[in-house]
Structure 1
Amino acid sequence: MSVHEAVAGFALVAALLTLVPGLDTALVLRTSLTSRRRSALATAGGIQVGCLAWGAAAALGATAVLAASQTAYRVLTLAGAAYLLWTGVRLLVAGFRKTPHDDGAHAGPRPAAGVSAGRGFTTGLVTNLLNPKVGVFYLATIPQFSAVGVPPLAMGLLLAGVHCAIGAVWLSALVIGSSALGPRMASTSFARWVDRVTGGVLVLFGVRVALSARAL
């Protein structure tokens, strides 16, 4: 298989995976609707850096060790579940907590603070790194798209870079589209509903991940 054939085939698989709504989409949309555009883009950037890290790990064989060791996979899975549950519960608490803006001002402007770009990047990165299913995806796909004469590490990073490029385009489009709606939805009430919905989604993801760890 040539490099061009490998990249084209992997890009198709990665694009299909990227377009399926999931945890990454929920995180980026929430940040975009409740914070500045650069914070949402930073969250998307953290997710892509995490993908690159998993791609390098898959190329080096680290994810093979993870897949072979049930204990290591379970520990990482439970750590990811705990992080998702903690983040989700924190958002739910924030979504239901009363603030001074609630006193007769449900339709008023929401505070401009939001999430900083640094915090958004960290959230995207940590969430991705604590999701072992990303590593398993790379472990299952990257070897299938290896090119003749290309070192495994270089090929792994190349394919992970392709995945990141596709993800960056998709998430950036979500950020631009949702941030354009932001001014029309700029109210404390709306921001709280976004926190409630996103928090609920993260809690459901966390429970699902925890249950999958118990089934190992």
Structure 2
Amino acid sequence: MAPGPDSLLVVRTSATRGRRSGLAAALGILTGCVGWGLATAVGLTALLTASRMVYDTLRMCGAAYLVLLGVTALRHARKPPAPGASERTTAAPPGRWAAFRTGVATNLLNPKAGVFYLSLIPQFVPRHAPVFGATLLFTAIDAAELAVWYWLLTRAASALGERVRRPVFRRRLEQLTGVAFLGFAAGLLADRSP
């Protein structure tokens, strides 16, 4: 639940596109978390720590995607609203399906999410418990906690919707999130530990 690209995406999407799109982005992120949990259950995330090349490849792809999100947000900040159009219609992502896909990609292209699942979940698996089932159980618990967090986050951020309709506020939000996504990308590129 620490602030990161996933939370930032939910806030930005909820504030600029509304609660339903924010929830779609959150559902995409949760889908990515379940994917990481399944990968951990079958041992695939161990590749992230065992193979520097796999980790670095995923890290570079994740950073490139965050740069894309940052540049897109900054471009939207520069774009004036069309005459007669509401501010909500000019913000990205343009729909719930796109918000869902963005959420999945943001989460799955973050190698730190995989390392989190690999390093944290196995510590809680009891010695004689089936690893696959226990890992899926802990993944479900994490997803449930995150679902509550993202639900609260979408409600709070979508409440800003009225303020976002003002062009100045929307531009500032897009600028802030664009710079933050670029900062997360720089942090991911600078990270050297799997």
TM-score, scaled relative to structure 2: 0.91
Structure 2 segments unaligned to the other structure (5+ residues) = none
In structure 1, what is the Cα distance between the partners aligned to 2:171 and 2:105? Answer: 24
Residue 45 (structure 1) aligned with residue 27 (structure 2): yes
Superposed CA deviations along residues 184-207 of structure 1, whole A, max 9, x for unmatched, are: 442232222211111110001011
Residue 201 (structure 1) aligned with residue 183 (structure 2): no
| Structure 2 counterpart of 1:110, from 84, 87, 94 | 87
Residue 134 (structure 1) aligned with residue 113 (structure 2): yes
| Structure 2 counterpart of 1:98, from 59, 80, 100 | 80
Residue 162 (structure 1) aligned with residue 141 (structure 2): yes
In structure 2, what is the Cα distance between the partners aligned to 1:142 and 1:207? Answer: 27
The answer on whether the counterparts of 1:111 and 1:188 sit within 8 Å (CA) in structure 2 is no
| Structure 1 counterpart of 2:60, from 75, 78, 94 | 78
Report how many aligned residue pairs link the two structures.
Answer: 192
Structure 1 position 174, deviation (Å): 1.2
| Structure 2 counterpart of 1:67, from 18, 41, 49 | 49
| Structure 2 counterpart of 1:58, from 40, 55, 61 | 40
In structure 1, what is the Cα distance between the partners aligned to 2:81 and 2:16? Answer: 16
Structure 1 position 162, deviation (Å): 0.8
Give me the CA root mean square deviation.
2.0
Superposed CA deviations along residues 67-109 of structure 1, whole A, max 9, x for unmatched, are: 10011111110010011011111111111233445xxx9xx95
Structure 1 position 141, deviation (Å): 1.2
- One-letter code aligned to 1:81: A
Q: Percent identity?
A: 40
Structure 2 match to 1:30: 12
In structure 1, what is the Cα distance between the partners aligned to 2:97 and 2:8? Answer: 18
Runs of 4+ aligned residues of structure 1 deviating over 6 Å after TM superposition are: none
In structure 2, what is the Cα distance between the partners aligned to 1:58 and 1:194? Answer: 35
Superposed CA deviations along residues 23-49 of structure 1, whole A, max 9, x for unmatched, are: 111111101110021100010011111
In structure 1, what is the Cα distance between the partners aligned to 2:82 and 2:20? Answer: 27
In structure 2, what is the Cα distance between the partners aligned to 1:138 and 1:117? Answer: 27
Bigger radius of gyration: 1
Residue 62 of structure 1 aligns to a residue in which SS? coil
Structure 1 position 155, deviation (Å): 1.3
In structure 1, what is the Cα distance between the partners aligned to 2:96 and 2:108? Answer: 18
